[in-house]
Amino acid sequence: MTDRPTIALVATGGTIAMKHDPVTGAPVPALTGADLAAAVPRLADLARIAVLEFANVPSAYMGPDLWPGLSRTVADLLARPDIAGAIVLHGTDTLDQTAYFLDLTLASDKPVVMVGAQRNASEADADGARNLLNAVRQILAQGAREDLRELGVTVTLNHNINAARAVRKSHTNNVETFNSGEAGFLGQVDEDRVVFARKPLRRQTLPLPERLARVALVAMAAGDDGRQLRHAVADGAAGVVIAAYGFGNVNEALYDAVVEAIAAGVTIVVASQVPHGRALPVYGFKGGGSTLRAAGAVFADDLSPDKARVLALLALPITRDRQALQAYYDR
């Protein structure tokens, strides 16, 4: 067992690290990364697990204030020659956003697998242990093949391997919650072996800036009067992601607010609220995507509004040029 590879385990909290509070009966943070690793004895047969306790918070608490530090922590671990890869334990609410942030900022070709759970550790059918074991198996499988060393950050739950750019949470409590929509899974961690079906082609790496851009997210609502967008601009946002309808459409009032925002030097990124398909400048009515593009808006392609914001956090410190920003979203 002396030749076992070493895998870093970075704990951030989430349901996977929760148990029922004896007083309230509600799940609360309770377990460390070391606790979770010790609860899966088979891990020690496969690899040495080097645990780092980064945080122990619900993933609703994760965001731009913690993401840069997490990225640097994982990057430092991957830079160690003895580390074969890293697992990040994380809550499922923002797991897809954190995964995409790490995918955009980590340059290492070593595997990074994001893992969470839909059931807390007190439940009889808790899924955290299996997901953690599968992550270790996936890292070992990737390390054994040179052609699988550049998959980027992946999200692996319920046996399914997802690319960070494509993955979305699709159900509030079902263990089969994460999928990649039309892009499809990268593969599966099966009972006998790890099977890979494809590679993610739409990947890019951006430098981690000294300070992330301030980016707001405003969801288009029926009868929107543009007040929320104007408030975000007045509050100092460098960019605003609009979660628009359909291909990327808004009403006249929000369109007028978009024009005002762009004139004030604020970057507007248009994403779609629809879970599948791309945001595209198609319609020509006032507020349609074509008119938004003509006004100077950037379109988020197939990124969800949340992920469109993640990319803007990193891209806006590099450039405010619309064409250059659009190129980041088109990659």
DSSP state for residue 279 in the 8-state scheme: B
Token pair, residue 102, equals 């790490």
- The three-state secondary structure class of 54 is coil
Judge contact between 15 and 132, C-beta under 8 A: no
Reference 119, options 110, 111, 128; nearest CA is 128
The pairing of beta strand 215-219 with beta strand 239-244: parallel
Reference 115, options 170, 62, 154; nearest CA is 154
The total number of residues shown for the chain amounts to 331
Q: Residue 83 CB: number of other CB atoms within 10 A?
A: 19
Which of 2, 6, 12, 15 is catalytic? The answer is 15
267 is known as an active-site residue: no
| E strand or H helix at 136 | helix 128-143
Helix then strand then coil, in percent of the chain rounded to 5, is: 35, 20, 45
Reference 90, options 130, 54, 64, 123; nearest CA is 54
Distance, in Å, from the CA atom of 298 to the CA atom of 302, rounded to the nearest integer, reads 13
- Complete DSSP assignment for 220-247: --TT--SHHHHHHHHTT-SEEEEEEBTT
Distance, in Å, from the CA atom of 7 to the CA atom of 49, rounded to the nearest integer, reads 5
Distance, in Å, from the CA atom of 242 to the CA atom of 287, rounded to the nearest integer, reads 12
Catalytic residues: 15
